[in-house]
Structures are given as C-alpha cells and as structure tokens.
Amino acid sequence: MTKPFKILVTGGAGYIGSHAVLALQQAGWSVAVIDNLTTGFRWAVPDSAAFYEGDIEDSALLEQIIKAENIGAVMHFAGSVVVPESVTDPLKYYNNN
C-alpha cells in the first residue's frame, strides 16, 4: 500500500535517527532526512531516503523540503545531547531542543 506522504526525520544521520529511518522504510514509509552532520554521518542514511545537509534552524530550507517532498509528519532526532556542554552553553540547547 502506498503511503499518502513522506516523513521528515530531523537528525536522521545520527544513531537513533538513522535507525528510525530504517524502521520507517521497513514499514513502507518514504522518508526525507535533514541533518547538519555535526554528530551524524552521511553514510548512515540509506540512499533510498532523500537527504538534505542543513540545519533545522534554517526555516527557508525546511519550508523547501516540506513542499518538495510532500512531508506530512516530522520525527525530531536533531536534539543536542551532550550534558557537560548543555551546562556550559544552555542557550544553545534551549534553541535547538
């Protein structure tokens, strides 16, 4: 059965995000990924997923992806997770997460 829209996975080149991409695809969903590759790896994203290297704070890029890829849902895995850094730079974490 064809799914009615694609799912955008933010942080889809990271450990958890890339596994979510694989699980979604195995369930029959088409997937697009946005990742700035700060902690993720391009090789972790299957070639069958549309990949956009960029930042989730780039609203123009997000709008372009949502329109071009017919995005109907977003799964957010682009959160920052380094605890010591979150203590020294809490605004970075507040803005991103």
pLDDT tens per residue across span 6-34: 999 999 999 999 999 999 999 999 999 99
Whole-number pLDDT of residue 91: 84
pTM: 0.89
Whole-number pLDDT of residue 43: 98
For the chain, list residues with pLDDT below 70. Answer: 1
What whole-number distance in Å separates Cα of residue 30 and Cα of residue 42? 18
Q: Where are the domains of the chain?
A: 6-96
CATH class, domain 6-96, is alpha beta
